[in-house]
Amino acid sequence: MEQQTIHVVGHKNPDTDSICSAIAYAYLKNAGQPGPYTPNRAGNINNETNFVLQYFDVEPPAYLEDVNVQMQDIDFRETTGVPDTISIRTAWQLMKEQDVVTLPIVQGGNKLEGLITINDIAKSYMDVFDNRILALARTPIGNLLDVLEGTLICGNPHARIVNGKVLIGAADRNVPEASIEEDDLILVADREENQREAIEQGASCLIVCLNAKISPAIIALAKERQCNIITTYLDTYSAARMINQSIPIKYFMRRSNLVTFQLEDTLDSVKEVMSKLRHRDFPITDAIGNYYGMVSRRNLLAMRRKQVILVDHNERSQAVAGIENAEILEIIDHHRIGTLETINPVYFRNQPVGCTATIIYQMFLEQNVTPPKEIAGLLCSAILSDTLMFRSPTCTPMDESAARQLSRLADIDIETYAMEMFAAGSDLIGKSPEEIFYQDFKTFQIGDTTFGVGQISSMNRQELLSLQEQMHAYLEEGYLSTKCDMIFFVMTNILEEASDMLFYGEQAAQLVTEAFLTEPEGNVCHLPGVVSRKKQIVPLLVSTLQQWES
């Protein structure tokens, strides 16, 4: 079994810290070498983060839509598909060898064509009485040779039985002339006159039982009339009984209404389908129909949960979809401890610093690993972003010290670079209100109340003022789309170190009034000196809600 990928991922609507910390921590876990740890993102990358990644020439992490258990995470049976030309007998033998009751039939490389079950084989053996069945099924001569363990004396091993019926001509002294038609298949014994009569009447294939001797004259006549001759050690009764086992499975296989699963299907959706059907086995394909294996209810017990490391968050509402079905291995964060639950004990590192990247740089130092220039640049960028270049009240001496050390490794001037980064991030021109609203939006659960807080930052006062009217008009739509009880949208002026907070919801105005001890004007509240969602906004909202709950 190949080594399972471990996803290092930040929160939804990721900011620079979320993306850069995921990339840097995956690098540290792999110790700079390719490994199972891969950085991912749980949402779109914003302008500021794009600037950072391009500046240091780092590929954006792949998007991780969810971490639900999928079919590709289950140890399903990787049985090989079979061509539709094999005989019923060969299919039966394969089922016995593999201890299965269903065989997948593939064509064109590995495209799933159909299925055949043990019930289909039983039906073919018990219910078929048509003596023209070999022709109807276009049975290959090769299948006859295999089933009868015969030898081809003359003829084409690649030919097929396409016309005629099956007759037994060994019991009579003379095969009745009237009963033989063009292209019939005749079972005979050692009577040369029967053999000759069958060939002259236009038989397409002669099966000579008990390995009876065939004269050169008969062989010559068969070649002249293009008649296949097969000899078998079986007696006529046994050969007649077994001959239907040579029919190709294509004739009996199921082609339509197949219930298949794809590698990307989630375990929950698969269980729902299986609960409504009595099938023992189901084929697994990819999106274009390539066959991969078979799965049964028993295989679902051997699932492998996706393994994840969470950075820059520990709230379930902020985590990638399906986190409740994943195996969380580690959490590296600098926020309040939230609502996530884990299956097993995990490594949980949570420090009261201004940025997750600060913690991860500490871990580089603890493990005596020096980050290369691009990783140092990402970590430094994340700290500058989260601390607003050391202006945020969340910034600690440890954050500033780490950023200055990393800036030297990344060969950047902090002040010049930070201004370029903030300018790139505050370029909101051309974005829709919805894009701006969800650019950095997080939800929180306190008791029975769910609230969401979005935030944008800019160094351009006029830009923020011009956007305020658009965002105010969008609030109701955003409120309905988030399904939160209350929403808040914070527009932060980095240079003035102040924010305007827009809000919507039945009790939002009362919450703002009590939390920030201020009277809002309409649906807007001006908050001088407030720039940090984590330290200055969410804690006040949470504590006020907790007082309401109690």
Neighbours of 39 (CB within 10 A): 27
- Cβ–Cβ contacts within 10 Å for residue 453, how many? 22
Out of 118-132, 401-415, 496-510, which region has the weakest mean confidence (pLDDT)? 118-132
Mean pLDDT of 215-229: 95
Residue 1, in any domain of the structure: no
Q: What are phi and psi of 65, to 5 degrees?
A: -70, -45
Q: State the Cα–Cα distance between residues 158 and 336, nearest whole angstrom.
A: 73
Q: Which two tokens stand for residue 214?
A: 């065939």
**Domain end (from 230, 246, 262):** 246
**Residue 41 within any structural domain of the chain:** yes
Give the per-residue pLDDT at 427.
Answer: 67
Residue 481 is assigned to a structural domain of this protein: yes
Same domain for 139 and 114, yes or no, is: no
Whether the predicted pLDDT of 321 surpasses 70: yes
Are 239 and 133 members of one domain?
A: yes
Query: What's 320's domain CATH number?
Result: 3.90.1640.10
| Stated pTM of the model | 0.67
Q: What contacts 532, CB < 8 A, 6 or more positions away? A: 392, 393, 394
Asked whether residue 402 is assigned to any structural domain, the reply reads: yes
Q: What residues pair up with 430 in beta bridges, in sequence order?
A: none
The pLDDT of residue 131 is above 90: no
**What stretch of H or E contains 451?**
strand 449-458
> C-alpha dihedral over 29, 32, 35, 41, to 10 degrees?
70
Question: Whole domain around residue 154: which residue ranges?
Answer: 129-246
Q: Which residue reads 């069945």 in tokens?
A: 133
How far apart CA 221 and CA 194 sit, in angstroms, is 13
Closest by CA to 74, choosing from 353, 303, 346, is 303
Which CATH number fits the domain that encloses residue 176? 3.40.1390.20
Retrieve residue 261's tokens. Answer: 């699963």
**Is 222 part of a structural domain of the chain?**
yes
Tell me, rounded to whole angstroms, the distance of Cα 167 from its chain centroid. 54
Pair 386, 471 in one domain: no
- The domain boundary, picked from 246, 271, 291, lies at 246
- The DSSP symbol for 2 reads P
407 shares its domain with 545: no
Phi and psi angles of residue 487, each rounded to the nearest 5 degrees, phi first: -130, 150
- DSSP for 468-522? HHHHHHHHHHHHHHHT-SEEEEEEEETTTTEEEEEEEETTHHHHHHHHHTS--BT
CA angle 444, 449, 451 (to 5 degrees): 40
Instruction: State pLDDT tens for residues 331-351.
Output: 999 998 988 888 889 999 999
Q: Does 124 score more than 80 pLDDT?
A: no
pLDDT at position 428: 73
Mean pLDDT, rounded, for 297-319: 89
Q: Tell me, what CATH number does 439's domain have? A: 3.10.310.20
Q: Are 499 and 531 within 8 A, CB to CB?
A: yes
Residues 6 or more apart whose CB falls under 8 angstroms from that of 298 comprise none
Evaluate if residue 126 carries a pLDDT over 80.
Answer: no
Candidates 424, 411, 410; CA nearest to 357 is 410
Closest by alpha carbon to 373, among 345, 424, 411, 346?
411
Q: Is residue 56 within 8 Å of 410, Cβ to Cβ? A: yes
Does residue 524 share a domain with residue 537?
Answer: yes
Are 354 and 447 within one domain?
A: no
Same domain (yes/no): 118, 257: yes
Please tell me whether residues 241 and 138 are part of one structural domain. yes
Question: By the 8 A CB rule, do 314 and 445 touch?
Answer: no
Note the pLDDT tens digit of each residue in 451-483. Answer: 999 998 887 788 888 888 899 999 999 999 999
Comparing 188-197, 228-237, 327-336, the range with the smallest average pLDDT is 188-197
Amino acid at 14: P
- What pLDDT, on a 0 to 100 scale, did the predictor assign at position 182? 87
User: 400 Cβ partners below 8 Å, 6+ apart?
Assistant: 387, 390
pLDDT of 128: 64
**With 60 as the cut, is the pLDDT of residue 68 above it?**
yes
Which residues make Cβ contacts (< 8 Å) with residue 11, sequence separation at least 6?
18, 42, 43, 312, 313, 315, 318, 319, 442
Domain end, chosen from 200, 228, 246, is at 246
Rounded Cα gap, residues 19 and 47, in angstroms:
12
> How confident is the model over 425-445, as pLDDT tens digits?
876 767 899 988 998 899 998
> Quick one: 206 and 227 in the same domain?
yes
Strand partners, 102: 117
Same domain, 112 and 50: no
The answer to whether the beta carbons of residues 9 and 323 sit under 8 Å apart is no
Where b means 16+ CB within 10 Å and e means fewer, 163-193 reads: bbbbbbbbeeeebeeeebeebbbbbbbebee
DSSP structure class, residue 212: -
Helix (H, G, I), strand (E, B) or coil at 318: helix
Q: Looking at the domain assignment, is residue 152 inside a domain?
A: yes
| DSSP 8-state assignment for residue 256 | S
Domain count within the chain: 4
Q: What is the dihedral of CA 151, 156, 161, 164, to 10 degrees?
A: -90
> What is the average per-residue pLDDT within 230-258?
91
Q: How far apart are CA 154 and CA 216, in angstroms?
A: 11
- Helices 373-386 and 414-425, interaxial angle, to 10°? 70
First CA to last CA distance, the chain: 52
Across all residues in the chain, what is the average pLDDT? 91
User: In the predicted model, is pLDDT for residue 247 greater than 80?
Assistant: yes
The crossing angle, in degrees rounded to 10, of helices 397-410 and 356-366 is 70
Does position 316 have pLDDT exceeding 50, yes or no? yes
Residue-level pLDDT at 373: 97
On whether both 187 and 282 belong to a single domain, the answer is no
State the pLDDT at residue 175: 44
Percentage of the chain surpassing pLDDT 90?
65
One domain for residues 117 and 259:
yes
The dihedral over CA atoms of 407, 396, 331, 362, expressed in degrees to the nearest 10, equals 50
Asked if residues 188 and 210 have their Cβ atoms less than 8 Å apart, the reply is no
